[in-house]
Amino acid sequence: MGCETAEMKIAVVGVGGTGSAACRHLAKAGHTVVGYEQFRVGHTRGSSHGESRIIRYTYPDPLFTGMMGDAYPLWAGLESEAREELFVRCGGVLIAPEGHADLRDTRESIESAGLPFEELTPGETAARFPAFRLAADEIALYQKDSGFLRATRCVRAQARIAAVHGAEIREATAVHEVASRNGKPVVRTEGGEEPFDAVIVTAGAWMGKLMHGLNLPLSVERRQVVYLRIARSPEHFAPEQFPIWIDARTLYYGFPSDGVIQGVKLASHVAGYAVDPDNDGREPAADIIAEALEIATRRFPDLSDQVAFTQVCLYTSTASEDFIMDYAPDLPNVFLISGCSGHGFKFTVLLGKIAADIVTGKTYPRDLSRFALSRFV
């Protein structure tokens, strides 16, 4: 596996969130990189498009909080290399009733990581973030380092910088097979087979189809984001006065106005349907909009019931929502990253680097055994 070589020829299959990051890290390290993307970089059919993805340390799980400690400096590095705004630092709140397990575990997780946080009562929350209404039994755990990443811009920036460092990004080039010939990985496209020293597969919602021989236990589901127009006090929805929010009870979450799309975005982590990523299923669903409206009007009385924009995106999930990061069995030097389970974007900059490091013979200091394929056996 991954012998350390001065220069390797490496394929990255899928130039989305994780793949674009892998291309950039590899190209900057001086490797010969070919990134294969079946559509165009920044397309809207996968999982990494749009104006906003939450970034936060506030996980109930110390491993994810710790990994975000590794990801934050990588995002800052990307943003300064890209010379454009990728990360809006608006802070974030986790809203839950006192005693809720996620609130308790998140508090413990960020406390043990030495991160600052505040706990706000409903009155304190409304005074500080006037658009919010909390129920009497709720508190808001505020963490200042949360915010949102401009997802499409991040993917495009990673791919652009990778290309500047010599990566060849082959758009509109679908990979039909990743196989092994005489112990070496090959990538097969319409144009034929090409051998590589290593292949990183980051095919998102298409992972199960491309690597069908592995029977990966991944589910692909659509999720729909809804932007509602602001009825009153638009300044209360600006990033300066409106943190990203997650409601631990309903698993709805949302963002301040992003300055690009009108209104404010909210979505459910859980409400969606299973889909085949090749069969559209991307038209708006009325029941999802109705539920979002119900949540929004209760929580944010200054929002209107007018939908400004709605869009579908795909989740590729494992049952535990732990990612897959491992070598493919029986395919030497083929490394898989998948199962980002609806919370992976904030990690993509790190996941791409971990894959790049591992296939080039370096290690990642944290224990990644939770993400190994052997857990499914």
Q: Could you give the CA distance from residue 110 to residue 105 in angstroms, rounded to a whole number?
A: 9
Least separation in angstroms between residue 174's CB and ligand FAD is 4
Instruction: State yes or no: residue 36 binds ligand FAD (CB under 6 A).
Output: yes
Which is closer to ligand FAD, CB of 91 or CB of 344? 344
- With beta carbons less than 8 A apart as the criterion, state whether 190 and 174 touch: yes
Site for ligand FAD, residues 56 to 85, rule: CB under 6 A:
none
- Of 37, 51, 102, 326, the one binding ligand FAD (CB under 6 A) is 37
- With beta carbons less than 8 A apart as the criterion, state whether 108 and 58 touch: no
| Integer CA distances (angstroms), 116 to 58, 110, 169, in order | 11, 8, 41
Least separation in angstroms between residue 6's CB and ligand FAD is 28
Taken in order 74, 80, 85, 90, is the CA torsion positive or negative? positive
Instruction: State yes or no: residue 346 binds ligand FAD (CB under 6 A).
Output: yes
Segment interacting with ligand FAD (CB under 6 A) among 113-121, 132-140, 231-239, 311-319: 311-319
| Integer CA distances (angstroms), 287 to 19, 85, 125, 223, in order | 33, 34, 30, 12
Instruction: State yes or no: residue 92 binds ligand FAD (CB under 6 A).
Output: no
**Any idea how long the chain is?**
377
Which is closer to ligand FAD, CB of 43 or CB of 124? 43
* 3-class SS of residue 327: strand
Instruction: State yes or no: residue 53 binds ligand FAD (CB under 6 A).
Output: yes
Instruction: State yes or no: residue 313 binds ligand FAD (CB under 6 A).
Output: yes
Taken in order 42, 45, 51, 56, is the CA torsion positive or negative? negative
- Of 134, 267, 271, 336, the one binding ligand FAD (CB under 6 A) is 267
Instruction: State yes or no: residue 174 binds ligand FAD (CB under 6 A).
Output: yes
Residues that bind ligand FAD (CB under 6 A): 13-19, 36-39, 46-48, 53-54, 174-175, 202-206, 210, 223, 225, 267, 313-315, 340, 342-346, 348
